[in-house]
Amino acid sequence: MAVGRDSGMDVDALPVASLRDVTKTYGQGDACVHALKKVTLDLYPGEVIVVLGPSGSGKTTLLNVTGGIEPVTSGEVEVCGQSLANKKPEELATLRRKHVAFIFQFFNLIQTLTAAENVSLIAELTQKSAGLHERVEEALSGVGLLERAAHFPAQMSGGQQQRVAIARALVTGPDLLLCDEPTGALDLDTGRHVLALLQAAAREQGRCVVIVTHNSGIATMADRVVRFHEGSIAQVVQQEAGEARDVTW
């Protein structure tokens, strides 16, 4: 496969996550909805993957089953070499703690905690707290919000909140970053800034970043673009990744 310029993707590395013939259906009989139909996909460290598709095409479901917050109907999902099949909820939580982080469209910050506390909370609850303070500062610094560490979400713009969410996701050092419409609630400039941080996480830190979006303009920054249609992968395009700061929509 071609490797994009400045991409952090390591072609020789094992996939961070693998999906094999994954199917996800909801409901039964006439009300049955096939959200995913025999999807096969590998996700590699250091790459940015943009998953495109219209509403209801299965993009978010892909994210959910990869991160283990939804079970598959059939097929295999592996994350960092561990199969998600037959794992109990607490085992899946452990897996997510170690290897996966999510970023959501509406940030999902805890309103009663400051930026620094939102970032440190996850690390506190999921990992050893040694060096936590320094890691929190580093994470906030990485997203350019160290001076806002003591501010509450209500005191920050949408973009700033999403950057805090990114810092929160990165502070635990995940291998896989799953982003569901991360710029859906943001304007163009703010969105570019957020996308740049995600791109840096892949290029500089070697994480696999999956961005689900209906916004095709974002696809230019991807190492790979996966197009979904009615629950199936319609197209996978390997490309030379553009700069996030040049994304437009």
Partner 1 sequence: MVTTHPTLRRKLRRDIRRSWPLFTALVVTVFLGVTLYAAANNAYKNLQASYDHAFDVQGFPDLFVSMADPNGYARWARQQPGVQDVRTRVQADLPFTVTSGSATTKLLGRIVGYPASGKPSVASLTPLSGASNPSKGEVLVEQHMADAFGLSPGDGLSISTAIGNVPVTVAGIASSAEYLWPAPSRQEEVVPYDSFGVLFVDEQDARAWSGAGDNQALVLLSDGTRDDSASESVLSDLSDGAISRGASNVMTRQQQPSNSVLQEDIDGFRQMAVAFPILFLSAAALSMYVLLTRRVVSERQIIGTLRASGVKGSALWWHYMSYGLWAGVIGAVLGVPLGMLLAAWMSSAYVRVIGLPSQLEQFAWLRPETLMVGLVFGVVATGVAAFFPARRAIRIAPAEAMRAESPNPKTGRSPLERIVPWAGRLPSRWWMVLRSIGRNGRRTLFTATGIALALILVLASVGLLQTMRHIVAVQFDQVATADLQALYSQPVTSTQVQRVRNVPGVDTAEAVVDTPVSVAYGDAVYATQLSAFDATTRMHGFITQSGSPMALPNDGVFVDESMTAQLPGLQVGDTVAITFTDTGDSVEAVVRGMPFEPIGAFVYASKAWLHKHVPQVGPGSVQATLRSGADAEAVRSKVTGFPGVEAVVETSALQTTFNQFTGLFNVFIGAMLALGGAMAFAIIFTTMSVNIVERERELATLRAAGVRFRTLAGLVGSENVVTAALGVVPGLALGVLAAQGLLRTYSNDQFTLPLYVSGWSLLLAAAVIMLVALVSQIPGLRAIRRMDIATVVRERSG
- Contacts with partner 1, residue ranges (CB under 8 A): 60, 64, 67, 69-70, 89-90, 93-98, 100-102, 104-106, 108, 110-113, 117-118, 120-122, 124-126, 129, 152-154, 168-169, 172, 180, 185
Strands, sheet with 208-213, edge to edge from the N-terminal-most edge strand: 100-103, 176-180, 208-213, 48-52, 224-229, 232-238
Q: Output 48 or 149, the one with its CB closest to partner 1.
A: 149
Concatenated DSSP letters for 145-192? -GGGTT--GGGS-HHHHHHHHHHHHHTT--SEEEEESTTTTS-HHHHH
Q: Output 3 or 113, the one with its CB closest to partner 1.
A: 113
Q: Output 7 or 61, the one with its CB closest to partner 1.
A: 61
Residue 95 beta carbon to partner 1: minimum distance, rounded to whole angstroms: 7
* Residues in Cβ contact with 249 at an 8 Å cutoff, skipping those fewer than 6 apart: 188, 191, 215, 216, 217, 218
Residue 72 beta carbon to partner 1: minimum distance, rounded to whole angstroms: 12
Q: Output 212 or 221, the one with its CB closest to partner 1.
A: 212
Say how far apart CA 168 and CA 56 lie, in whole Å: 28
Residue 48 beta carbon to partner 1: minimum distance, rounded to whole angstroms: 21
Concatenated DSSP letters for 75-123? EEEEETTEE-TT--HHHHHHHHHHHEEEE-TT----TTS-HHHHHHHHH
Residue 64 beta carbon to partner 1: minimum distance, rounded to whole angstroms: 4
Residue 177 beta carbon to partner 1: minimum distance, rounded to whole angstroms: 12
Q: List Cα–Cα distances, 54 to 32, 212, 216, in angstroms.
A: 19, 11, 10
CB of 47 closer than 8 Å to CB of 224: yes
Q: Output 151 or 242, the one with its CB closest to partner 1.
A: 151
Residue 246 beta carbon to partner 1: minimum distance, rounded to whole angstroms: 27
Say how far apart CA 80 and CA 158 lie, in whole Å: 32
Residue 163 beta carbon to partner 1: minimum distance, rounded to whole angstroms: 16
Q: Output 45 or 158, the one with its CB closest to partner 1.
A: 158
Q: Output 4 or 153, the one with its CB closest to partner 1.
A: 153
